[in-house]
Amino acid sequence: MMSKSIADQLLGLGLADKKQIQKDKAEKRKADKQSRKHKDANDDEAKLAVEAARKKKLEHDRQLNLARQAQADKKAVLAQVKQMVESAKIHSDDGDIKYNFADRLDNKIKSIYVTDAVQQDLSRGRLAIAVSDGRYYVITKEVADKIAERSENSIVFIADANNDAPDEDDPYKDFVIPDDLMW
pLDDT value of residue 59: 95
d(CA 97, CA 179): 14
pLDDT value of residue 68: 95
Among candidate residues 81, 106, 111, 80, the one with its CA nearest the CA of residue 96? 111
d(CA 84, CA 147): 7
Q: Tens of pLDDT along the chain (183 residues)?
A: 456 777 777 777 777 788 888 888 899 888 888 877 776 667 778 888 899 999 999 999 999 999 999 999 989 988 888 888 888 888 766 778 888 888 887 888 888 888 888 888 888 888 888 888 888 888 988 888 888 888 888 888 787 766 555 567 778 777 777 666 666
H/E stretch holding 114 reads strand 108-114
pLDDT value of residue 86: 86
Can you say whether the dihedral through the CA atoms of 43, 47, 53, 54 is positive or negative? positive
pLDDT value of residue 2: 55
d(CA 179, CA 32): 97
- Give the number of other Cβ atoms within 10 Å of residue 138's Cβ: 26
Taking the domains of the chain in order of start, what are their residue ranges? 90-158
pLDDT value of residue 166: 58
Contact 63, 69 (CB under 8 A): no
